[in-house]
C-alpha cells in the first residue's frame, strides 16, 4: 500500500460534517440552504418521509438521532422544550449514549431557558457545547435567505458555527453567553404577536370605513411604520390566505414562556397580556392549525365586519430575494 505523505495530503482541510434534526416548516428550508451551499449534512426527522426530499439536495437521511452523534456540528429545530429535551437527553438522544457526541449543538428552536440550561450543562460534561441560535422569520423567509439569527453561548463555539449561521440567515447577532438568545427570541415573538394584533385592528378600522385592505396596507408598508414583517404578512391579510406559517398554538406557547419570564423578572407587560388573551380566544374558537393571521378575521368578527378575499396582486417583499 502506498502512503501519500505529500504536503498536500498533510494540509488538506477538514470538511466539517454537519447534522440536522427536525425538517418541518422551518427546518427543511434551513437544512436545504446548508446543503445547497455545499456542506456535508446528514438529517433526521421523526417522520422520515418529511426529510427524504432533502436527499435531492445531497443530504444523507438517517433513521436514528444517534447516527448524528459523531458529527462535528448538529443543528436542532423542533417545536417545544419537551421536544428539544427528548432529542438531546432522551432515550437515544444526542447526549445519552456512551460514544461520541457532537462538538457543538446549535439549537434554533424557541424553548425555555430552563430546559436549555439543563442541556447546556450536560453537553459541557460530555465535552460538547450548546449554542442557542433561534431565528426570526417563517419558512418562506428562510427559503429567501432573509432570516435573522440571534445566538448565545461560549464565544469560541459560536465562532466555530458562525459560518453556518451566516448561510441560513442574512444577519447573525451574538447576544452573549448562556441563555441570552432565548430571552431575545421570546421578547421578539411577544412583539410579533402584539404587532399582528395591532395590524389587524387598524386594517379592520380602515376597511370598515370603506378602504380596501390592499390599499391600506400598500400605504402602511411604504410609510415610516411599515416593516419587512408587515410587508410579507400583507398577502395573507389581503387574500385571507391562512395557510400556516406559524400557528396560534405556537404563538401562545411563546407568550406563555415570555410572560412567565416577565413575571419572574417583575416586568409588567400589560399590552402583551391583553394580546395573549386574544390569541387564546382565537384558539378557543377552534383556530388551531391556521396561520396566526387569523387574528385579522377574529378582529373583523368582533367589529361586525364580514371579510372577503381581495383578488389583487400584493408584493410580499421576498420574491426578489428568492430569485
> Is there a catalytic annotation at residue 233?
no
Cβ atoms within 10 A of the Cβ of 235, count?
21
**Residue 22: DSSP 8-state:** -
Q: What would you report as the CA-atom Rg of the chain, rounded to the nearest whole angstrom? A: 22
Strands (E), 170-316: 171-176
Nearest to residue 21, comparing CAs of 135, 151, 109, 150? Answer: 109
Answer whether 105's CB lies under 8 Å from 118's CB: no
Helix, strand, coil % in the chain, rounded to nearest 5: 50, 10, 40
Distance CA 229, CA 294 (A): 16
50, 140, 143, 185: the catalytic one is 185
Asked whether the beta carbons of 279 and 303 are under 8 A apart, the reply is no
Rounded to the nearest 10 degrees, what angle do helices 248-264 and 180-208 cross at? 120
What dihedral angle (degrees, nearest 10) is formed by the CA atoms of 294, 295, 298, 302? -160
Provide the sign of the torsion angle of the four alpha carbons 103, 52, 321, 310, taken in this order: negative
Nearest by Cα to 63 from 73, 84, 49: 49
Which residues are known to be catalytic?
185
Amino acid at each position: 500500500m502506498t502512503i501519500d505523505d505529500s504536503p498536500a495530503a498533510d494540509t488538506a482541510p477538514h470538511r466539517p460534517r454537519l447534522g440536522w434534526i427536525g425538517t418541518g416548516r422551518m427546518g427543511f428550508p434551513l437544512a436545504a440552504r446548508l446543503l445547497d451551499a455545499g456542506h456535508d449534512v446528514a438529517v433526521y426527522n421523526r417522520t422520515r418521509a418529511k426529510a427524504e426530499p432533502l436527499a435531492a439536495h445531497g443530504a444523507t437521511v438517517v433513521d436514528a438521532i444517534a447516527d448524528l452523534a459523531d458529527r462535528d456540528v448538529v443543528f436542532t429545530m423542533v417545536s417545544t422544550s419537551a421536544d428539544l429535551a427528548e432529542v438531546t437527553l432522551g432515550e437515544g438522544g444526542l447526549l445519552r449514549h456512551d460514544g461520541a457526541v457532537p462538538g457543538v449543538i446549535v439549537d434554533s428552536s424557541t424553548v425555555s431557558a430552563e430546559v436549555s440550561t439543563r442541556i447546556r450543562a450536560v453537553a459541557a460534561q460530555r465535552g460538547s457545547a450548546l449554542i442557542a441560535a433561534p431565528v426570526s422569520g417563517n419558512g418562506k423567509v428562510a427559503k429567501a435567505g432573509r432570516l435573522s439569527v440571534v445566538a448565545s453561548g461560549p464565544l469560541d463555539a459560536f465562532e466555530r458555527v458562525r459560518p453556518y449561521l451566516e448561510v441560513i440567515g442574512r444577519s447573525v447577532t451574538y447576544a452573549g453567553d448562556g441563555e441570552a438568545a432565548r430571552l431575545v427570541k421570546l421578547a421578539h415573538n411577544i412583539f410579533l404577536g402584539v404587532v399582528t394584533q395591532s395590524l389587524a385592528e387598524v386594517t379592520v378600522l380602515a376597511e370598515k370605513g370603506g378602504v380596501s385592505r390592499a390599499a391600506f396596507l400598500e400605504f402602511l408598508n411604504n410609510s415610516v411604520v411599515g416593516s419587512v414583517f408587515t410587508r410579507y404578512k400583507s398577502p395573507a391579510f389581503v387574500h385571507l390566505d391562512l395557510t400556516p406559517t406559524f400557528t396560534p398554538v405556537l404563538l401562545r406557547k411563546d407568550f406563555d414562556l415570555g410572560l412567565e419570564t416577565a413575571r419572574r423578572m417583575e416586568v409588567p407587560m400589560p399590552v402583551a397580556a391583553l394580546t395573549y388573551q386574544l390569541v387564546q380566544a382565537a384558539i378557543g374558537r377552534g383556530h388551531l392549525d391556521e396561520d396566526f393571521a387569523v387574528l385579522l378575521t377574529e378582529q373583523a368578527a368582533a367589529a361586525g365586519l364580514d371579510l372577503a378575499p381581495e383578488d389583487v396582486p400584493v408584493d410580499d417583499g421576498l420574491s426578489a430575494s428568492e430569485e
